[in-house]
Amino acid sequence: MRRIFKIYKPFTHAGVMLAAQYRVNFIFFILGDVLMCFINYFLWKAVFSSGGAQTFMGFSETDMVSYIFISFLTSTLAYSDGSYAVGEEIKDGSIAMRMIKPIRFDLAFLFQELGERTMSISIVFLPLMVGVEIFRFVVTGAVQFNIFRFLLYLLSLVLAYLINFYVNVCYGYSAFVLKNLWGSNLLKNIIIGFLSGATIPLAFLPPVLSAVLNFLPFASLTYTPVMIYIGMYGPVQILTSFGLQIVWLIFFIFLQQVIWNACVKRLSVQGG
């Protein structure tokens, strides 16, 4: 483990430098995206004041507002550019260079992305968390923050990121068959965004669909960590969803390895 960190530390460092370079741009982009959260915030406030009921399909107004911001936070932090990075390397052929180096292709990307992530963590994490907690305190009149739940959230978030990363890397390999990844990447992001609960809680969907999505890897990407954070999951649900996250993570790591081995074989047969 120590050895791995030593080998891949330069990649993390490069990622940090890269993120620092695009710092100002990043802040503006995030501000643009946070606007969407506020639109949803006002929309849901209007929904609750128009509906007259205390809850909307099981969510109170406080739950809903927390959901909006925490799901934004989660999907921003669990975001991965893996498919793009892999796709580009395949298109320009530099992936062949990866094969002659004594390092793992996926880990190099992973550690670089973790480095880049320092920027979003340092800029997005604290303001959004504190904002949500203040909001919950003002509305309910009591401190809602629970350190134990928060730690579970962090764990689930890390798993969500790793799954997302490997899903994206696997997806990036499709560049071997497709000429251009723009269209399919867009389609993929929209489908995953919706099915992972980043747009609306999966509980709002028809029960059968929601149950299927909960079981499939989609829920593991955003929905699970958010539900843990805002306290909608009981101990049993937390345990099962953790189990599912781990199963899916192993599945995608394995899948990535299989595709990679196939690629190596194919490239060495064709001679790059």
Partner 1 sequence: MTGSCLSVAFDAIPRVTHMLTKEMIQLIYVNKLKKDFKKTIKEPGLKGSLKSFVKPKTEIITAVNEIDFHVPKGEILGFIGPNGAGKSTVIKMLTGILTPTSGSCEINGKVPYKNRKSYVREIGVVFGQRTQLWWDLALRETYTVLKEIYEVDDKSFKERMAFLNEVLELDEFITSPVRTLSLGQRMRADIAASLLHSPKVLFLDEPTIGLDVVVKDNIRKAVKTINENEQTTVILTTHDLQDVENLCDRIVMIDKGSKIFDGEIAELKRKFGQSREMKFVPADFSALDKLDYEGEFHLKDAVEVENDGHNVSVRFDSDRISVEKMLNYTLSKLHVKDINVSDADIEEIIKGIYRSEVKVDA
Partner 2 sequence: MRIFKKLHRAFKLHRIFIKQDLKRLMEYKIDFMTGAVGLLLAQGVNIFFISIIFSQIPALDGWTFEQILFIYGFALLPKAIDHLFTDNLWSVAYFIIRKGDFDKYLTRPVSTLFAVTVEKFQVDAFGELFVGILLLGISVPSVSLNVSVLNVFLFIISMLFATLIYTGIKLITASISFWTKKSGHITYMFYMVNEFSKYPTTIYNKVVGAIVTYIIPFAFTAFFPASYFVAGGNPWYNIGGTVIAGTVLMIAGILVWNKGVNAYESAGS
Query: Contact residues for partner 1 (CB under 8 A)?
Result: 20, 23-24
Residue written as token pair 């498919």: 83
From 155, 153, 190, select the one nearest 70 (Cα to Cα).
Answer: 153
Taking CB atoms within 8 Å and a gap of at least 24, the contacts of 225-228 are 225/74, 225/78, 225/153, 225/156, 225/157, 225/160, 226/67, 226/70, 226/71, 226/74, 226/197, 227/201, 228/149, 228/152, 228/153, 228/156
Based on CB atoms, which residue is closest to partner 2, 24 or 269? 24
254 binds, among partner 2, partner 1, none (CB under 5 to 8 A by kind): none
End-to-end CA distance of the chain: 32
Based on CB atoms, which residue is closest to partner 2, 50 or 270? 50
Tokens representing residue 188 in the block: 């993929």
20 binds, among partner 1, partner 2, none (CB under 5 to 8 A by kind): partner 1
CB 182, min distance to partner 1, A: 16
33 binds, among partner 1, partner 2, none (CB under 5 to 8 A by kind): partner 2
Residue 59: which H helix or E strand, with range?
Answer: strand 59-60
Tokens representing residue 162 in the block: 């790793």
163 binds, among partner 2, partner 1, none (CB under 5 to 8 A by kind): none
96 binds, among partner 2, partner 1, none (CB under 5 to 8 A by kind): none
What type of residue sits at position 216? Answer: L
CB 42, min distance to partner 1, A: 30
Interface with partner 2 (CB under 8 A): 24-26, 28-29, 31-33, 35-36, 38-39, 42-43, 45-47, 49-51, 53, 56-57, 178-184, 186-191, 193-194, 199-200, 204
Based on CB atoms, which residue is closest to partner 1, 20 or 151? 20
Based on CB atoms, which residue is closest to partner 1, 1 or 24? 24
Dihedral sign, Cα of residue 63, residue 123, residue 242, residue 201: positive
Residue 161 burial class via C-beta count within 10 angstroms: exposed 0-12, middle 13-18, buried 19 and up = buried
Based on CB atoms, which residue is closest to partner 2, 62 or 189? 189
234 binds, among partner 2, partner 1, none (CB under 5 to 8 A by kind): none
Based on CB atoms, which residue is closest to partner 1, 101 or 179? 179
CB 56, min distance to partner 2, A: 6
